[in-house]
Amino acid sequence: MKTSAVFTIILLLIIGSTTCLAANWIAIDKTQKSQLFYDKDNFFVNPNGIIVVPLRWVYSEAQAEGSISYKSSIDSVMIDCNKGTLHIEEVLFLDGNDNKLGTKKIDKTVKDSPHAQKIVSYFCKISKSSQGDKPNPDNDSGGSLGTGFIIDKNGYIVSCNHVIEGKNTITGHVGHQDVKLKVVKTDSRNDIALLKMDLEPQTYLKFRRGKSIRPGEECFALGFPLAGLLAQEVNVTTGIISASSGLGNDISILQMTAPVQPGNSGGPLLDKNGAICGLVTSKLNAVRIAAATGDIPQNINFALNSLIIKLFLDSNSIDYEEFTSEEKEDLATIVEKSRDAIVLIYAR
């Protein structure tokens, strides 16, 4: 995704040396003085094959950094498995109530430290084991992955341009098979890519009819977040439309609370009826926003408004259908009917 990573940090309880955090924080190491956690919702491999993950240290006793006395810290780190290095960009210091105390720019690469090597080994191991024998485009030079969705019976697929931009080979995992995808047209300004497969689809999605979805309406996203790390099946997350414009009051962008992760890029945002109302594009970087504002952003994610997608398709003479059924179905039924139209995209 263009920007990574909105996450929620809630310090629930600290009793002695036992610490409980929100469910997205997973403990990976513990000593008498501290516990180390990582944010599973923001663990991903960037297009250059570098693992990016926030690490959180929680201490049983207050620590000192200059004039700052802190009980917890969050490191923004990058891990290079090929070089065996851990790069720390910056550290955010928090008190026992998760209030920001200050930040420190580190910008340091560590390789020989035994503790750093333990962390590198841990993340490289789980990244490798989670991939198994599956293709791992994010570990290929210049590889990336994302989501797309089929929009008609001819095999046209919509995704994000940044998922496939600059790539020579694009493959889609559709159902139980891999198929080559051809780039038909792209719009870098609105981050849209139109692809096509030479395979008759089992099903396809239809667009929302009429006006744009409104703030307060229910929505859900389908896609392949953290593909290779999580199960390789379509994931669904739910939320509402929280604003009808994005950063800088951009009216082409919807803001929603449905959680998305790296890998969701290019997936559909659907309304409560299962009609396309947006194209998932990005989320905020929580560590950087917290460092700049002293507050941790929550549930701020973005999608391109479906009205812009339809204009793009119209301008390229691509037919599509709009949702007309008045039959009410539950979410599980809609997801079951839609999952075969969701494509896992590997781009190299």
pLDDT at residue 150, as a whole number: 97
Catalytic residue, from 4, 76, 265, 306: name it.
265
HSE value, Cβ hemisphere, 13 Å, CA-based, for 331: 13
To the query of whether residue 191 is one of the catalytic residues in this protein, the response is: yes
Reduced to 3 states (helix: H, G, I; strand: E, B; else coil), residue 164 is helix
To the query of whether residue 162 is one of the catalytic residues in this protein, the response is: yes
Cα 218–235–330 angle (5° rounding)? Answer: 45
pLDDT tens column, 182-220:
999 999 889 999 999 999 999 999 999 988 999 999 999
- φ and ψ at 60, to 5 degrees? -75, -25
**Alpha-carbon span 57 to 106, nearest angstrom:** 16
pLDDT tens column, 75-127:
888 888 888 999 998 899 999 888 889 888 888 899 888 888 889 988 887 66
What type of residue sits at position 267? G
324 against 41, higher pLDDT: 324
pLDDT at residue 215, as a whole number: 93
Q: How many CB atoms lie within 10 A of CB 115?
A: 11
Name the helix (H) or strand (E) containing 162: helix 161-164
Answer whether 267's CB lies under 8 Å from 331's CB.
Answer: no
Q: How far is CA 100 from CA 21, 68, 288, 290, in A?
A: 17, 11, 12, 8
Catalytic residue, from 41, 75, 191, 271: name it.
191
- Above 80 in pLDDT, residue 319? yes
265-293 as b/e: b if 16+ CB within 10 A: bbbbbbbbbbbbbbbbbbbbbbbbbbbee
The model's pTM is 0.59
4 against 242, higher pLDDT: 242
Task: Sketch out the chain's domains with CATH numbers.
Answer: 11-131 (2.40.128.710), 144-347 (2.40.10.120)
% of residues, the chain, pLDDT over 70: 77
pLDDT at residue 145, as a whole number: 83
- Above 60 in pLDDT, residue 288? no
Tokens of 242: 């929280």
pLDDT at residue 243, as a whole number: 87
pLDDT tens column, 25-80:
888 888 888 999 988 767 776 545 678 888 999 999 999 998 999 999 998 888 88
% of residues, the chain, pLDDT over 90: 39
Catalytic residue, from 4, 73, 144, 162: name it.
162
pLDDT at residue 325, as a whole number: 74
